[in-house]
Structure 1
Amino acid sequence: MAITLAQVRAFERIARLGSFHAAAHHIGITQPSISHRIQDLEAILATDLFLRNGPKVTLTADGHSFLEYADRLLETADEATVRFKKRNPLLGLLRLGVSESFAHICLSDLMTRLEQQYPKLKTSVTVGDTGMISALLNEHQLDIAVISEPGVASHIHRVPIGRNELAWIASSRLKLPSGILTPADLAQNHIIVSPHTARLHTTMTNWFSMGGTAPSRVSTCNSLSVTLSMIRSGFAIGLVPVRLVADELQRGELVAVPVTVPVESHRVFLCYQIVEFGPDLEAIVGLTKELIAHHQLFR
């Protein structure tokens, strides 16, 4: 037998009000009904929760311990009820999906602003590529996301927010041929890129195809941070968002490899579940767009 919320609520009301009669009246049930709930709860927990002394009751040591659990259970249940009745993820847990570009540049600011405006908000952040984030949105496992070229279903609304400029990036210590390189020239080098589920991988493949060639050695990495670390070390050349390496390009630590075939930029969208859209979620959409513009993340 499992604990029910009805039992937990009965226990919490008795503990707060000091009697079975007062708790039953508050909940709107009979005193025998509330007594039965507590008997079942004590049987499940295999302990006494109350010391009975006439109409008044006091908590046992185990009762005091269980009250902490009861408060947390009821708070979570109440949050869930409000969250789904009002269809507003900002009243409970906001499930946010973001690309690594957004995570590196804007996520910290977004979390700070959300904390200021919604101090009780809990967040669950998933950082991933287009394929992963799109799938989670389609499966209703995310409320809102910032991703490139999303493949999302009709229950997801897409708001265009810019283009993610890409370039072939290499360490300045890497010895590359001089001049502007063709896809065939670059294909002779070790290439590192995101996995097949990522839009970056598709863009890389298409870019070489347009040049009538294919790279001879391709490594994949599902972390853009690690990919950049490998590029910095001279391990490989990578196709990455320019904004992420702007400072290093300016300092000359990394170089954008000049190429004959332009690299396609990615359209970036802010996506959210249509059924959950309301004034608060609209505010988050506006805030996200504001931060992207402030950090000049996309063009």
Structure 2
Amino acid sequence: MPMTLGQLRTFALVARLGSLRAAAETLGVSEPAVSSALTALRHDLGDPLFVRAGGGIALTPGGRALAEYAQDIVGLADQARWEVSNAKNDAGRLKIASTAPFAEHAAGRLLDLFTKRAPGASVDVVVESAEDLASLLQERAYDIALGARPTAGTAVTGPRLECVPFLRYQRALVAAPGHPLARLHGPVPVARLLDRPWFAGPAGIQDGSEEGRWLASTGVAPEIIRLSSETEALAAVRAGEGIMLALGHIVRAELQSGVLVRLPVVGTPVAGLWWASTLDRRRTTTLAQTLQRFAGTADATAAMVAPGGSRGLERRGSKFHVALWS
């Protein structure tokens, strides 16, 4: 009997989990049923595929070769099934996950321009935490994620992700001119700023971001007050209530006019990247790939960093959740 998709799915799971029992529990079948599927596959291919080892299995060279193909074949079959079942209702619709800073400061401009360049496309955007992006993409809850790069650790056992950087940014520590810290002369260590509150948006300073890694490298933990948006946090900073790691292109005009001042802190400004992430190209949608490419174009970059005007998405309830149509 030639190999079947069910046998390949079973083998791919056994190879990934390293155990027939674990694969049976995941599939909701008996261990003998898993063993039977693998026996048929071994006979068809003329290779043992694996041997029992240390309470689990160890793949043979032939088993390792098949494991890579099996995962790809199963993934393509799942993608085909999903595309067919969603083709009627989701034609031209793009489900987007965005991290909060990107949603607030650039998503509106990017998606406004994209829907004008892609006739018939509609986009639905929800803000999610950076830590959840990888699993949400793998579960096909969204077609594409914009903002922070998905945390690699959550994507080890799932489909591969294509992560493309599309916008560089800088974050600088800023304060009002009358704030006590504004009188400091640099370079100033971060430790000297700990007796003052730091403001941030609802996501705080994300561990997976460049600014989060920079702060972790300093070995200090400032008091961070999270407000409903970075815009609100910046208003508190202008009022002299504290300091903030603000996006450089957002506060550029205020720094030039003296409404805000940049604190000369060691290691700042912090350079970072925003990413467009999808499942790998054999599993993602054409429209998601189109947006991923478009985000890195000169026109898109110019729109996102241009001064003035609205940049973000409208907040509804506890999350940003909007639909934009061309």
Report if TM-score (shorter chain) is over 0.5: yes
After superposing on structure 2, the runs of 4+ consecutive aligned residues of structure 1 that deviate more than 6 Å are: 86-90
CA contact 1:164–1:265 (8 Å) conserved in 2: yes
Q: State the SS of the aligned residue for 1:284.
A: helix
Residues 295 and 102 of structure 1: is their aligned pair in 2 closer, same or farther, counting only changes over 3 Å?
A: farther
1:266 aligned partner:
272
2:251 aligned partner:
245
Q: Are residues 1:183 and 2:182 paired?
A: no
User: Can you list the C-alpha shifts for 1:265-288, whole angstroms capped at 9, x where unaligned?
Assistant: 333221013355455433322222
2:293 aligned partner:
286
1:165 aligned partner:
170
Residues 256 and 117 of structure 1: is their aligned pair in 2 closer, same or farther, counting only changes over 3 Å?
A: same
CA contact 1:106–1:292 (8 Å) conserved in 2: no
Question: 5+ residue gaps in structure 2?
Answer: 1-79, 307-326
Q: State the SS of the aligned residue for 2:140.
A: coil
Say which one has the larger Rg. 1
Q: State the SS of the aligned residue for 1:283.
A: helix
Q: Are residues 1:254 and 2:254 paired?
A: no
Q: State the SS of the aligned residue for 1:199.
A: coil
- Structure with the larger RCO, 1 or 2 (CA within 8 Å, 6+ apart): 2
Deviates more, 1:193-202 or 1:130-139: 193-202
Q: Aligned partners of 1:128 and 1:249: how far apart in 2? A: 31
Q: Which amino acid letter does the alignment assign opposite residue 190 of structure 2?
A: P
Shift of 1:185: 1.2
Q: Which amino acid letter does the alignment assign opposite residue 174 of structure 2?
A: I
Shift of 1:123: 1.9
Q: Are residues 1:111 and 2:111 paired?
A: yes
RMSD: 3.6
Residues 187 and 258 of structure 1: is their aligned pair in 2 closer, same or farther, counting only changes over 3 Å?
A: same
CA contact 2:178–2:240 (8 Å) conserved in 1: yes
User: Can you list the C-alpha shifts for 1:217-258, whole angstroms capped at 9, x where unaligned?
Assistant: 332235222222222222221123222222222222122211
2:122 aligned partner:
122
Q: Aligned partners of 1:196 and 1:106: how far apart in 2? A: 16
Q: Are residues 1:85 and 2:84 paired?
A: yes
Q: Which amino acid letter does the alignment assign opposite residue 124 of structure 1?
A: D
Q: Which amino acid letter does the alignment assign opposite residue 98 of structure 2?
A: V
Residues 239 and 246 of structure 1: is their aligned pair in 2 closer, same or farther, counting only changes over 3 Å?
A: same
CA contact 2:162–2:279 (8 Å) conserved in 1: yes
Residues 162 and 117 of structure 1: is their aligned pair in 2 closer, same or farther, counting only changes over 3 Å?
A: closer
1:22 aligned partner:
none
Q: State the SS of the aligned residue for 1:131.
A: helix
Q: State the SS of the aligned residue for 2:296.
A: helix
